[in-house]
Structure 1
Amino acid sequence: MATEAKVGKVTLAVPSNQEYVDGIKSAPAFGIKDKLGYMFGDLGFNSLQVLVNTYLMIFFVNIVQITPVHFSLIIAICKASDAINDPFIGRVVDNKAGSKFGKYKPFLMKYLLPYLVTTILLFVNLASAPYAVKIGYALITYFIWGIVGTFINVPYGAMLSSITADMKGRTDLSNFRSIGSVMANVIVTSIAPLILFDQMDNPVASQFVVLAIILSVFTAVCLFLTHILVRERIVIPDKTDEQKSINYFKIMKTFVKNRPMIAVISAYIITKFFIQTTGIMNQYVFMSHYRATEQLAALGLATLIPIVAAMFIVKPMINRFGKKNLVTWPALLAAASFAVNAVFPVSSTMYIFFQLLGQFFVGFFSLLIWSLIADAVDYQAYLTKDRNDGTICATITFLVFLVSSLSTSMIALLLDVVGYDVALGAAQTTEVASSIKMLGGILPVIGAVLIFVCFHFIYNMTDAEMQKISQEVNGL
């Protein structure tokens, strides 16, 4: 029987796998290898996420010829179902004993191949199949893809807390993870328009699966580098038999008392719902309003500029203002920048400029989100006197994706409301094209304002208070 030990205010069973404990204790000091390895994880995983989240709608609607309304229902059903499974997957992660490679890293390699295969299967062209077959295939493959991805994303997110307990180290990991995420977006949105669209700005069916295969190979290389470079340094004790069962209602009830968690989760949902969807809207804005899909490649590449600029100044800005202020007030400046695109008849070049300017100001939240989540997870352990990092991260994923599952559906429905005609392709009416451009600007305005509300009125912890709590729950 496993003995028990107290870690901070948390009492759990000492790990019975000595190989795991020895591996943790023998880890070298936290450093640049961990930061780069964690960056590669997000770079690889999100390359396929960006591909699916940005271009699956165009593939199924414009190529496979599933109506926008039916596609929106498919996405909503699959994401909601996937979100419901997330807490159970998180429990599997928490209950799994650590190995010589760590507690969380083994999941990345175990589920890598299924993740790659299901991504490629999503872009198989079934345009000539009966409509019911198209719907069924889309439902099944997208649902499985979401489940497999969760088995990578949840342990990857929980792993941040086990790499280091130092707040500055976590901030660095969050920064590098955000860089990886942005680079994934830049790479995919830069090369995809050059591969997926013809000279008439219409998508080419056969090129989608080709791009999926190329990015799958790239993802495999990136996650392998994560496995090599990242080391876990905090021993996560085994669960007792009693602790292996969990009351999810109790977790949700505790969440209500965790105001930092509420603020971060809400802002995360808002970002996915209103700001990250600009990638999807840009396809339609530049295809229908500006008739210049070739500029999407430049826009995709240019999105690296604001995040890199924010990255260079984020540390001195944190030292001067603190994390909370740094994600609060710049959100209003982001809203003003995005509003220019929504209200004024700007050229395509100016549209890109003001979108990038807005992304710079919300970039501080993007860089710090995973550090803020790690802090909130520690605060959750402080409140509950129990460590369930995988379950908590999965519950966060559950809440985020349950609500944000409506984002793609919302865009599909909004396109339908403004009169978008799939049969016309890029040749929409002037009125419809203008409405699409307005939507592309107004959605991130709403998101930026709501992010400000979350951190100005809900988040209630100082950096010093959070550092003290993290040290306590990690036994430092």
Structure 2
Amino acid sequence: MSGAPAMRERPLRPARADRPFGWRDKVGYLLGDFGNDFVFIFASSFLMVFYTNVAGLDPAAVGLIFLIVRVIDAFVDVAWGRFLDTHRASPRGRFRVWIGRMALPLAVVSALLYVPMIGDWAYGVRLAYAGITYLLWGSCFYMMVNISYGSMASVMTEDPAQRSALSVWRSTGASAAGLFVGVVPPLFIYATVDGVSQVHPMNLFLTATAFAGGALVFLLLCYRMTNERVVVAPSAQRRGLGTVLGALSRDKALLTLVLANLVMMIGQFLSQSMAPYLWLNYFNNGQLSSIAAVLGIAPVLLIAPFATRLGRRFGKKEIAIVAGAVATGMHLLTFLLHVTNPWAFLGLTFLGNLGMSLFMLLVWAFITDVIDAIDVKTGSREDGTVYAIVVWARKLGLAAVGGLSGFALAAIGFHAGQATQSHETVAGIYAIATLGPAILFALFTLVMWLLYPLTRARVEANAAALASRRAAPVVVD
């Protein structure tokens, strides 16, 4: 039982008599991340190469754009999460309503990121257009949809096992989207000219537009198929944003999860952002990235049916430690072998992805565990704010990848807009794509092992404490 004042407790209760949690909610939630990642993974995979190879922007300048936008996100993400926690919910829910409202603007801006004629503009105009559209995409429309979507999981059900199931279904949707994004676009956006694999600007724009349209459809299906069943009774004493952030900044579980997510995202997306350069320049076959995408996502889809039971049996923290260790070992081995055969490289990539698959499937359930732990200690739930902080850390990791990738490409002598690169540059691309993730996954493993406090026993104890609190009468002064 929390030692927080009774007047600040906000017990969870059923929102209304409604259909029980079931398959429709799981499939709808899966479709939400499927739609989100139709634009997010697409941007993670192809936006950097669009900026350098089509727009002709300097990699260091692109990295700076990514970093500036993520600094802005530090404010807007948390502000939006706090808005979701404190505004009056509509009859259609507190969180899901914003998925329906913002799906169309998100789709439009997602397509406008890749206009093919940008290469004909003056350099300053190209740079400004890239910065403005990326800001609108990442810090406005995608942010509003994604934080609303992620925060919704805690009010779809209050059962920890069902929340873990939602995390698995969400991650399965993300993996399916990643598979689709990885396989289909390379078949259309790459062309071989004089024996050199290159990006086709118009095909990239048309493909991006098609994926943006798909995202719109899937997000609207998510809105229609899901339901919010749990509401938080209004607090008798609402805390200000500064007070909330001050308390959260001292929470070890949240801080550790933020750090682990940041490191994991940098490692994961560093490999992903370098993949187009690796296949274009090191293996000289951009279309092989389709097969690489299949082997990158396949482990997640194979393990998904067992993830919830494994998490319940061994604990999410414990699984994360093993996952990080396996991923570290395989990426380090790939670097040391300096593989030149693309099929051998694909095999090692598959084994490396087995490592992080379990963590990726359960990562969103970590957030609800942290929210519950904070509720036990303080008597206050901050679903949207906590989710926004974790998402900001993940987006910061993505921006760091953009900055790190851009600066690293510049450091190894990569020339934007040039079809071929020097031998030293190509060797540097291979090192960044293999050794970089190995180091970061090793750090992730140490963080989860030594610092993250929510073991399986602690999570179960928190769930029991909250169940006891909800069963007790509410005291209001």
CA contact (8 A) 2:186 2:286 kept: yes
- CA offsets 1:25-46 (integer angstroms, 9 cap, x no match): 2222211211111111000011
RMSD: 2.2
Distance 2:449 2:316 in 1: 12
**Alignment partner of 1:369 is 2:333:** no
**How do 1:85-96 and structure 2 match up within 5 A?**
85-96=76-87
Q: 1:279 to 1:469 in 2, by over 3 A?
A: same
Query: Cα offset for 1:256?
Result: 4.5
**How do 1:325-336 and structure 2 match up within 5 A?**
325-336=318-329
**Alignment partner of 1:341 is 2:334:** yes
CA contact (8 A) 2:274 2:433 kept: yes
Query: Cα offset for 1:181?
Result: 1.0
Q: 1:473 to 1:98 in 2, by over 3 A?
A: farther
**Alignment partner of 1:100 is 2:96:** no
Q: Determine the structure 2 residue equivalent to 1:459.
A: 452
- CA offsets 1:8-65 (integer angstroms, 9 cap, x no match): 96736899xxxxx99x322222112111111110000111011112211111111111
Distance 1:468 1:165 in 2: 15
**How do 1:123-272 and structure 2 match up within 5 A?**
123-124=114-115, 125-146=117-138, 147-199=140-192, 200-238=196-234, 243=238, 246-248=240-242, 250-272=243-265
Supply the AA of the counterpart residue of 1:40. L
CA contact (8 A) 1:25 1:233 kept: yes
Q: Determine the structure 1 residue equivalent to 2:111.
A: 120
**Alignment partner of 1:35 is 2:26:** yes
Among candidates 375, 392, 400, match of residue 398 of structure 1 = 392
Q: 1:465 to 1:398 in 2, by over 3 A?
A: same
Length, aligned pairs only: 460
CA contact (8 A) 2:265 2:397 kept: no
Distance 2:310 2:462 in 1: 23
Distance 2:272 2:283 in 1: 15
CA contact (8 A) 1:10 1:473 kept: no
Q: Determine the structure 2 residue equivalent to 1:287.
A: 280
- CA offsets 1:342-381 (integer angstroms, 9 cap, x no match): 1113221121111221111111110111001111012122
* Range 107-116 or range 29-38, more displaced: 29-38
Q: 1:392 to 1:9 in 2, by over 3 A?
A: farther
Q: Determine the structure 2 residue equivalent to 1:4.
A: none
Query: Cα offset for 1:411?
Result: 0.5
Q: 1:62 to 1:275 in 2, by over 3 A?
A: same
- CA offsets 1:75-95 (integer angstroms, 9 cap, x no match): 111122123211111122122
Query: Cα offset for 1:196?
Result: 0.9
Distance 2:202 2:23 in 1: 40
- CA offsets 1:190-227 (integer angstroms, 9 cap, x no match): 11111111123100111222112111221112112211
* Range 300-309 or range 138-147, more displaced: 300-309
CA contact (8 A) 2:315 2:456 kept: yes
Q: Determine the structure 1 residue equivalent to 2:404.
A: 410
Q: Determine the structure 2 residue equivalent to 1:66.
A: 57
Distance 1:428 1:13 in 2: 60
Q: 1:107 to 1:10 in 2, by over 3 A?
A: farther
Name the SS of the counterpart of 1:48 in structure 2: helix
Distance 2:181 2:24 in 1: 25
Name the SS of the counterpart of 2:78 in structure 1: helix
Among candidates 407, 430, 433, match of residue 426 of structure 2 = 433
* Range 316-325 or range 89-98, more displaced: 316-325
Supply the AA of the counterpart residue of 1:154. I
Q: Determine the structure 2 residue equivalent to 1:11.
A: 8
Distance 1:356 1:122 in 2: 31
CA contact (8 A) 2:10 2:381 kept: no
**How do 1:347-386 and structure 2 match up within 5 A?**
347-386=341-380
* Range 184-193 or range 380-389, more displaced: 380-389
Query: Cα offset for 1:262?
Result: 2.3
CA contact (8 A) 2:269 2:398 kept: no
Query: Cα offset for 1:285?
Result: 0.7
Distance 2:452 2:180 in 1: 34
- CA offsets 1:259-296 (integer angstroms, 9 cap, x no match): 32223221211121111232211111111111111110
CA contact (8 A) 2:331 2:435 kept: yes
Q: 1:94 to 1:295 in 2, by over 3 A?
A: same
Supply the AA of the counterpart residue of 1:176. W
Name the SS of the counterpart of 1:198 in structure 2: strand
CA contact (8 A) 2:155 2:228 kept: yes
Q: 1:166 to 1:449 in 2, by over 3 A?
A: same
CA contact (8 A) 2:82 2:241 kept: no
Distance 2:19 2:289 in 1: 43
Among candidates 61, 65, 76, match of residue 67 of structure 2 = 76
Q: 1:51 to 1:8 in 2, by over 3 A?
A: farther
Query: Cα offset for 1:400?
Result: 3.5
Distance 1:317 1:45 in 2: 27
Q: 1:317 to 1:403 in 2, by over 3 A?
A: closer
Distance 2:118 2:399 in 1: 24
Q: Which runs of 5+ in 2 are unaligned?
A: 472-477
Name the SS of the counterpart of 2:8 in structure 1: strand
CA contact (8 A) 2:42 2:181 kept: yes
Supply the AA of the counterpart residue of 1:396. V
Distance 1:141 1:322 in 2: 41
Q: Determine the structure 2 residue equivalent to 1:389.
A: 383
Q: Which runs of 4+ in 1 moved over 4 A?
A: 7-10, 12-15
Q: 1:325 to 1:69 in 2, by over 3 A?
A: same
Name the SS of the counterpart of 1:65 in structure 2: coil
- CA offsets 1:160-188 (integer angstroms, 9 cap, x no match): 11111211111111111111111111111
